Amino acid sequence: MGTRVMYPIEVKKKAIQMKKEQRNQILLNLLSIIKKKSFHHDIQCYKKILTLIRQEDEVLISYLKEFKVNNNQGCYLGINTVMKAYITQDMWTDFTIKKKLISLLDSAKGKCPKESWIKKLDDIQANKQSDEILLLCNELFDFEKITNYVFQNGHYWSDDVLKRFIKGGRWIVASV
């Protein structure tokens, strides 16, 4: 028999080893839970899943390009806009840039970008995909009118994640 490659996945801060298929099934199950959740306060779980995806996980990467949550909450519409955008032809490079971009946009806090934020943006833009990223940012601006999530009972919640995505998009456009 050939050697089996085992992949670590964090469970309560302990790494366990498992086969690629098992790991991918767990990640798909976690995405299914996120998809069905009635309201999302943040995107930390989603971002953690992104860190667990490997270059050989082409099926998962393709799935994430089409992933949408059932409640169409703005923060995940922003994520979907990033994930479905065309950045570059190479699937892994494309995914890596998008993962960094999601993290960068989610960290857009304050009145103006901090030096560390600009450094991360420079790292992303080093791939020479500025035009594609600008198009993506312009799509994010279309979500400005839905930065408050309205519940069925009429109450609403400010979608701070989407607001950060829009703010980060504005900072990116201003930096180019």
- φ, ψ at 149 (rounded to 5°): -90, 125
Give residue 1's pLDDT.
46
CA distance 95 to 55: 9
Separation between Cα atoms, residue 117 and residue 105, nearest integer Å:
9
Query: What pLDDT band is residue 23 in, cutting at 50, 70 and 90?
Result: confident
The reported pLDDT for the residue numbered 64 is 94
Both tokens assigned to 47: 């971002």
Least confident of 30-39, 86-95, 110-119: 30-39
Length of the chain: 176
pLDDT, residue 50, reads: 94
Instruction: State percent of the chain over pLDDT 70.
Output: 89
Statement: residue 13 has pLDDT above 70: no
Amino acid residing at 72: N
| pLDDT score of 8 more than 60 | no
- pTM (two decimals): 0.84
pLDDT digit string, tens, across residues 32-68: 988 888 766 678 888 999 999 999 999 999 999 999 8
Q: How far apart are CA 157 and CA 151, in angstroms?
A: 8
Average pLDDT (84-100) is 93
Strands 6-11 and 156-158: unpaired
- The string of DSSP codes covering the chain is -PPPPEEEEEETTEEEEEEHHHHHHHHHHHHHHHHH-S--S--HHHHHHHHH--TT-HHHHHHHHH---TT--HHHHHHHHHHHS---SSHHHHHHHHHHHHHHHHT--SSS--HHHHHHHHHHHTTS-HHHHHHHHHHHHGGGGG-EEEPTTS-EEE-HHHHHHHHHHHHHHHH-
3-state secondary structure 5-49: CEEEEEECCEEEEEEHHHHHHHHHHHHHHHHHCCCCCCCHHHHHH
